[in-house]
A and B are shown apart, each in its own frame.
Chain A
Amino acid sequence: MSEMANTDPEGIDGVRMSWNSWPRTKVEASKCVIPLAACISPIRHHPDIQTLPYAPLRCKTCASPLNCFARVDFTAKIWICPFCFQRNHFPPHYGMISETNLPAELYPQFTTVQYTLPNPSINPQMGVDPNVPTALSPSPVFVFVLDTCMIEEEFDYVRSAMKRAIGLLPENALVGFVSFGTQAHVHELGFSDMSKVFVFRGTKEITKDQVMEQLGLTVPGRRGPGTSAAAAYQHKGMMPNGFPGSGVTRFLLPASDCEFTLNSLLDELQTDQWPVQPGTRASRCTGVALSVAAGLLGACLPGTGARIIALVGGPCTEGPGTIISKDLSDPVRSHKDLDKDAAPYFKKAVKFYDGLAKQLVSQGHVLDVFASALDQVGVAEMKVAVERTGGLAVLAESFGHSVFKDSFKRVFEDGEHSLGLCFNGTLEVNCSKDIKIQGIIGPCTSMEKKGPNVADTVIGEGNTSAWKMCGLDKSTCLTVFFDLSSSDRSNTPGTVNPQLYLQFLTSYQTPEGQTLLRVTTVTRRWVDSTVSSEELVQGFDQETAAVVMGRLASLKMEIEEGFDATRWLDRNLIRLCSKFGDYRKDDPSSFTLNPCFSLFPQFVFNLRRSQFVQVFNNSPDETAYFRMLLNKENITNAAVMLQPSLISYSFNSLPQPALLDVASIGADRILLLDSYFSVVIFHGMTIAQWRNMGYQNQAEHQAFAQLLQAPQDDAQMIIRERFPVPRLVVCDQHGSQARFLLAKLNPSATYNNAHEMAAGSDVIFTDDVSLQVFFEHLQRLAVQS
Chain B
Amino acid sequence: MAAPVPPGAPRQQPPTGPPPNFQQNPNALADNFQNMNLNRPPSSNTRPPPFGQPPPFSSSSPASPMTRPGPFPSGATLRPASGSPSPTLPPNMAPGRPSGPPFGQPPPFGARPPPPGAFPSSMPPSAGSPPYGAPPPVTRPSPVASSSPVNMGPSGAPSGFMSNGPPAPAFQAGQRFAPPGSSQHQPPMGAPPAMGPPARGPPQAGAMRPFMGSPGAGASQVLPPSGMGQAAPAFGGPPQAMLGSVASPYAPQMPSQPGVPPMPGSMPPPRMYGMPPPMQNQMTAISPVIGQTGGTQPGASKIDPNQIPRPIPSSSVILHDTRQGNQANPPPPATSDYIVRDTGNCSPRYMRCTINQIPCTADLLTTSGMQLALLVQPLALPHPSEEPIQIVDFGEGGPVRCSRCKGYINPFMKFIDQGRRFICNLCGFTDETPRDYHCNLGPDGRRRDADERPELCRGTVEFVATKEYMVREPMPAVYFFLIDVSMNAVQTGATAAACSSINQVIGDLPEGPRTMVGIATFDSTIHFYNLKRALQQPLMLIVPDVQDVYTPLQTDVIVSVSECRQHLELLLESIPTMFENTRTSESAFGAAIKAAFLAMKSTGGKLMVFQSVLPSIGLGALAAREAEGRSNVSAGDKEAHKLLQPADKTLKDMAVEFAEYQVCVDVFITTKTYVDIASISVIPKVTGGQVYYYHPFSVVSDSVKLCNDLRWNVSRPQGFEAVMRVRCSQGIQVQEYHGNFCKRIPTDVDLPGIDCDKAIMVTLKHDDKLQDGAECAFQCALLYTTVYGERRIRVTTLSLPCTSNLSNLFRMADLDTQFVCFLKQAAREVPITPPLHVREQVTNFCINILLSYRKFCATVSSSGQLILPEALKLLPLYTLALIKSAGLRIEGKIDDRSFWINYVSSASTPSAIPLVYPRMIAVHDLDTQDGNGSIVPAPLPLSSEHVNDEGIYLLENGQDCLIYAGNSVNPDIMQQLLGVPSADQGGAEFTLQQYDNPLSKKLNEVVNEIRRQRCSFLRLRLCRKGDQSGMAFFSYLIEDKVPTGGLSYVEFLVHIHRQIQMKMSS
Contacts and interface: CB of A to CB of B under 8 A. Distances in A.
A323 B951 CA distance: 80
Contacts of B550: 183, 199, 201
Nearest to B539: A195
A193 interface: yes
A183 B524 contact: no
B538 interface: yes
B697 to A, nearest CB: 24
A264 B540 CA distance: 15
A258 to B, nearest CB: 15
A222 B556 contact: no
Interface in A179-204: 182-183, 185, 188, 191, 193-201, 204
B536 A264 contact: yes
Contact of B540 (A197, A213, A267, A274): A197
Contacts of B544: 198-200, 213-216
Contact of B583 (A188, A193, A223, A264): A223
Nearest to A192: B578
B540 A183 contact: no
B552 interface: yes
Given A193-B574, A193-B578, A199 B554 contact: no
A268 interface: yes
B525 interface: yes
Contacts of A267: 535
A210 B544 CA distance: 9
Contacts of A216: 524-525, 544, 584
Contacts of A215: 544
A221 interface: yes
A267 B536 CA distance: 10
Nearest to A203: B550
B574 A198 contact: no
Contacts of A196: 539-540, 542
Interface in A495-514: none
A273 B539 contact: no
Contacts of A206: 545
A108 interface: no
A338 B574 CA distance: 54
Contact of B578 (A183, A194, A197, A200): A194
A275 interface: yes
Nearest to A270: B533
Interface in B522-574: 524-525, 528, 533, 535-545, 548, 550, 552-556, 574
A720 B535 CA distance: 39
Contacts of A274: 553-554
Nearest to A202: B550
Contacts of B528: 199
A183 B583 contact: no
B582 interface: yes
B525 A214 contact: yes
B536 A222 contact: no
Interface string A262-280: 0010011000011100000
Contacts of A200: 544-545
A557 to B, nearest CB: 40
Contacts of A214: 525, 544-545
B545 to A, nearest CB: 6
Interface in B567-608: 574, 577-578, 582-584
A273 B553 contact: yes
A275 B553 CA distance: 10
A198 B542 contact: yes
B412 to A, nearest CB: 50
Q: Is the interface of B mostly helix, strand, loop or mixed?
A: loop
A221 B542 contact: no
A197 B536 contact: no
Contacts of A182: 554
A213 B547 CA distance: 12
A194 B584 contact: no
A182 B536 CA distance: 24
B452 to A, nearest CB: 49
Given A183-B552, A201-B545, A223 B582 contact: yes
Nearest to B523: A223
A201 B541 CA distance: 12
Interface string A579-614: 000000000000000000000000000000000000
A204 B524 contact: no
A201 B540 contact: no
A206 B548 CA distance: 11
Interface string B274-318: 000000000000000000000000000000000000000000000
A311 B923 CA distance: 73
B541 A185 contact: yes
A500 B536 CA distance: 68
A473 B525 CA distance: 41
* Listed residue (B544, B583, B584) with the most chain A CB atoms within 10 angstroms of its CB: B544
B558 to A, nearest CB: 13
A773 to B, nearest CB: 61
B542 A197 contact: yes
A273 B538 contact: no
A31 to B, nearest CB: 60
Nearest to A222: B584
A223 B487 CA distance: 10
Interface in A437-475: none
Contacts of A275: 554-555
A222 B536 CA distance: 27
B454 to A, nearest CB: 44
Interface string A210-248: 100111100001110000000000000000000000000
A194 B542 contact: no
A268 B539 contact: yes
B529 to A, nearest CB: 8
A265 to B, nearest CB: 9
Contacts of A199: 528, 541-544, 550, 552
A194 B525 CA distance: 17
Given A214-B525, A222-B584, A268-B533, A194 B548 contact: no
A183 B541 CA distance: 11
A344 B789 CA distance: 47
A367 B528 CA distance: 30
Given A193-B578, A201-B548, A222-B583, A273 B555 contact: yes
Contact of A210 (B540, B545, B556): B545
B270 to A, nearest CB: 64
B417 to A, nearest CB: 55
B538 A194 contact: yes
Nearest to B550: A201
Contacts of A210: 545
A389 to B, nearest CB: 26
Nearest to A210: B545
B541 A197 contact: yes
Nearest to B544: A214
B537 A195 contact: yes
Contacts of A198: 525, 542-544
* Listed residue (A191, A199, A204) with the most chain B CB atoms within 10 angstroms of its CB: A199
B578 A204 contact: no
A188 B535 CA distance: 19
B334 to A, nearest CB: 50
Contacts of B542: 188, 196-199
Contacts of B545: 200-201, 204, 206, 210, 214
A223 B584 CA distance: 6
24 contacts: A182-B554, A183-B550, A185-B552, A193-B577, A194-B540, A197-B539, A197-B540, A198-B542, A199-B528, A199-B541, A199-B543, A199-B550, A201-B548, A204-B545, A204-B548, A206-B545, A214-B525, A222-B583, A222-B584, A223-B582, A267-B535, A268-B536, A273-B554, A273-B555
User: Which 8 interchain pairs have the tightest Cβ spacing?
Assistant: A214-B544, A199-B552, A196-B540, A198-B542, A201-B550, A194-B537, A195-B539, A193-B578
Given A193-B574, A199-B541, A268-B535, 10 more contacts: A188-B542, A197-B540, A198-B542, A199-B550, A201-B545, A204-B548, A215-B544, A216-B544, A216-B584, A222-B584
